[in-house]
Amino acid sequence: MAFTHTYRVRLGPWGLVARIGLDVGHAEAPPPDARVIGDPPVWWVPPPGIVPADEEWMRFGLGLVAGRLDALRSGAGAVVVRVLDWEVPMLTDHQEEVAAAAVIECLRRHHGIDGVDIGVAFDRERNRYEFTWDASLRPVGRGGASGDAGRGWEGRSGAR
């Protein structure tokens, strides 16, 4: 079943907003345009036209919950997360990390996928939001969402 979710946060003088449309389903085999993430594997299809930085952060967010998404599997086959829509209405106020936060929050609210705490604070000196991903993970910054989410991501969320 598909859901649309709006992620919003405003702690400083400006806020972050993004809309994401997700469909989580089951398939006997992954779609040809799907990408694998996590262990056990979950397949995901990014939305058309997504910019590479947002796609990378979205992948990071899905990687943090991939193990929990496997609970949605019904028998043999694959869990497939299709990102049907991704919209950032205020590009001037956008930070790429929102893609990870939005996908995690949407899965939490509409599919009951818990387990990842997202901390958000506003750094007035940098005029930038700082994200932390779960108590056991260090913040990740711009350009730092690469590698394997299950193996201790590193970086700084304030780096530009």
Q: What integer pLDDT is reported at residue 135 of this predicted model? A: 55
Coil vs helix vs strand at 52 = helix
Please tell me the predicted confidence (pLDDT) of residue 26. Answer: 87
What is d(CA 74, CA 71) in angstroms, rounded to the nearest whole number? 8
Q: CA angle, corner 130, sides to 127 and 63, nearest 5?
A: 140
Local structure of 92: helix, strand or coil: helix
- What pLDDT was estimated at residue 157? 34
Q: Mean pLDDT of all residues in the chain?
A: 82
Identify the burial level of 76 via C-beta atoms within 10 angstroms of its C-beta, where 0-12 means exposed, 13-18 middle and 19 or more buried. Answer: exposed
Question: Rounded to the nearest 10 degrees, how much is the dihedral formed by the CA atoms of 84, 77, 148, 107?
Answer: 40
Cβ distance 104 to 65 under 8 Å? yes
> Which range among 28-32, 75-79, 110-114 shows the weakest confidence by mean pLDDT?
75-79
Query: Per-residue pLDDT averaged across 127-155, rounded?
Result: 55
Return the structure tokens found at 15: 């806020």
